């Protein structure tokens, strides 16, 4: 196989940042993706409809005129999110979901949710209005090992949400464990998951063996090859519509990653579909790539499939060591290595 054409993919989990940093990277996603769900964890976070639409306008202004790309916005859920906030968002077609960060779980999540009980009235309204809940699935209890935080979240938090709000549409984002895969498979069609390229390609050995590699550090953190990475690979390439593409591409300034307390986040938007293509080819499942990247996500969200297509060609190329990033540099995932597929421009 020398080329493959796909319905244009969508990225159902993307960080773009704002200002000059955003303008440095947004074209990379727009060149590959028809749509992307944009994360709201800026400083300050995007908490209401007006802020979300202003952020969307900033993104649209930064896009080249020859690229058709639709940013789908989210609200940052807090203990103080109101029913009116949800009702307002539900009437706006460019706001697609609400993002649940447990307070302190990841980058700029300090203002996130402290307990499910505090947001239960909001979840009830979201269920009624069919507003999806996007979940960063980790507990933040200091007594829970970082490698166990996703599993404990599923057991202590997510099971309760699914049970108490059975009609609520939920996406468990960037799953990392066999436990998460099994939970998704055993749940209703109202629960789905996104899987990132880094969690398919790498495991914790890549991050820790032979020295700490900060550009592999993300949250949820990379897990074991067996059973976790293997389970993710099986799920992504299975053709099951409950699993679909979400890069969680999260660019950080190089110096914020390569520091005594480096930021969590892997930058993959520069070649997202190429990275997934390499995974699906290695698993002997190239015929399943289009469903995962282009079909299952829109179907879950009740959106039409993109009308455009993209073409990938087998062409070896070397990933640059860095990209410009708002006057500084961002180091891409797999910098300096060779990829075997390239998007035809």
* Residues 102 and 113: beta-carbon distance below 8 Å: yes
Task: Name residues whose C-beta falls within 8 Å of residue 62's C-beta, 6 or more positions apart in sequence.
Answer: 22, 23, 26, 27
| 345 has pLDDT over 80 | no
- What is the domain class of 3-343 according to CATH? alpha beta
**Exposed/middle/buried for residue 65 (C-beta within 10 Å: 0-12, 13-18, 19+):** exposed
- What are 262-288's pLDDT values in tens digits? 999 999 999 999 999 999 999 999 999
For the sheet containing 35-38, what is the strand order? Answer: 11-14, 35-38, 70-76, 95-100, 133-135, 170-172, 191-195, 243-245
**pLDDT at residue number 104:** 87
| 75 has pLDDT over 90 | yes
**pLDDT at residue number 210:** 96
Share of the chain above pLDDT 70, in %: 100
**pLDDT at residue number 106:** 86
* Reported pTM: 0.97
Residue 10 known to be catalytic: no
- What are 99-133's pLDDT values in tens digits? 999 998 888 788 999 999 999 999 999 999 999 99
**pLDDT at residue number 110:** 86
State the average pLDDT over residues 36-62.
Answer: 97
- What are 18-34's pLDDT values in tens digits? 999 999 999 999 999 99
11, 228, 248, 253: the catalytic one is 248
pLDDT band at 171 (very low <50, low <70, confident <90, very high): very high
Helix (H, G, I), strand (E, B) or coil at 261: coil
| 243 has pLDDT over 80 | yes
How far is 343 from 345, CA to CA, in rounded Å? 6
**pLDDT at residue number 337:** 98
């Amino acid at each position: 196989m020398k080329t493959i054409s796909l319905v244009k993919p969508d990225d159902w989990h993307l960080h773009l940042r704002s200002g000059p940093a955003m303008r440095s990277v947004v074209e990379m996603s727009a060149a590959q993706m028809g749509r992307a769900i944009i994360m709201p964890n800026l400083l300050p976070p995007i908490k209401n409809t007006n802020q979300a639409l202003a952020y969307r306008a900033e993104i649209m202004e930064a896009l080249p005129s020859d690229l058709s790309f639709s940013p789908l916005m989210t609200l940052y859920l807090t203990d103080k999110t109101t029913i009116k906030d949800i009702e307002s968002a539900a009437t706006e077609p460019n706001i697609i979901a609400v993002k649940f960060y447990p307070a302190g779980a990841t980058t700029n999540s300090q203002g996130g949710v402290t307990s499910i009980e505090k947001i239960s009235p909001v979840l009830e309204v979201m269920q009624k209005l069919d507003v999806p809940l996007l979940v960063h699935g980790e507990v933040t209890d200091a007594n829970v090992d970082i490698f166990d935080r996703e599993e404990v979240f599923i057991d202590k938090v997510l099971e309760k949400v699914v049970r108490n709000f059975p009609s609520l549409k939920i996406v468990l984002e960037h799953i990392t464990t066999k436990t998460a895969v099994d939970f998704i498979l055993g749940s209703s069609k109202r629960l789905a998951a996104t899987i990132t390229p880094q969690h398919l390609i790498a495991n914790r050995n890549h991050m820790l063996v032979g020295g700490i590699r900060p550009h592999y550090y993300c949250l949820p953190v990379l897990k074991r090859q067996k059973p976790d990475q293997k389970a993710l690979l099986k799920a992504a390439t299975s053709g099951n519509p409950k699993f679909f593409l979400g890069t969680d591409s999260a660019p950080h300034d190089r110096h914020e990653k390569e520091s005594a307390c480096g930021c969590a986040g892997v930058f993959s938007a520069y070649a997202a579909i190429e990275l997934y293509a390499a995974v699906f080819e290695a698993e002997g499942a190239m015929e399943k790539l289009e469903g995962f990247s282009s079909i299952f996500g829109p179907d879950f969200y009740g959106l039409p499939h993109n009308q455009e297509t993209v073409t990938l060609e087998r062409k070896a190329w070397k990933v640059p060591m860095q990209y410009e990033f708002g006057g500084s540099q961002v180091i891409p995932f797999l910098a300096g290595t060779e990829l075997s597929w390239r998007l035809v421009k």
